[in-house]
Amino acid sequence: MCMSYISCERGDLYYEDYSNSINTYDGDIYSYLEQNKGVFDSLLLVLDRIYPYQDSLKNQDITLFAPTNQSFTLALLNLNTQRRLANNPPIYLEDIDRNELDTLLSRYIFNDVISTENIKNLKDGRYLNSLNHGYRMHVQYKVLNALGYVGGGQQQIVFTDPNNSIFERYWEKTTTNSINIYTKNGVIHLLTPSHNFGFGKLGIYSN
């Protein structure tokens, strides 16, 4: 499994004159991932193991919150640290139960096209039901501050696993690093490299 990671071309800060340009890719979502293998090798490996998702990413109208290689690396590092403390050998994506990968990966894929325009005016954000399993996730629009200017910075989506709870103290959140990458069949939002794939749940059946 490739563990390499190429950071996004954009920097972390957008300043007062920032405007989010529309990024378009002349192909489907799956093809976009293949064209950026230095970023999405691990995601493609998981998709190859649970191949029905490939058809969805090629032919359905989809929103994908895309975890990068670094998100999988972090998840495996945390998992194998726990396994080492329990005197268990390390495991990798090829070893994780396919049903578990299916359950977790579905939470990043939605059978609808959701850009920031669909949620920017929703004060409390909105819930989305994941593809295939219907697991409830939550998204909320956010604009960072920059150089003392309120709301003048980077646009983000806060992407949350509510853990089936109405109480936010139990929610696990991450953010996007890049938003609104439009393809022929949907939109992609890239998650921050510090995101832990599966929101800390990878390998829960493997310990």
Domain ranges for the chain, please list them.
23-200
Give the C-alpha distances (Å, rounded to integers) separating 16 from 117, 145, 148, 178, 200: 19, 9, 9, 17, 35
List the CATH code of the domain at 23-200: 2.30.180.10
Task: State the pLDDT at residue 204.
Answer: 75
Task: State the pLDDT at residue 148.
Answer: 55
Kindly give the interhelix angle for 52-59 and 37-49, rounded to the nearest 10 degrees.
130
Task: State the pLDDT at residue 22.
Answer: 54
Amino acid at 24: T
The list of the chain residues with pLDDT below 50 reads 1-21
Task: Report the predicted TM-score, pTM, of the whole model to 2 decimal places.
Answer: 0.85
Task: State the pLDDT at residue 65.
Answer: 98
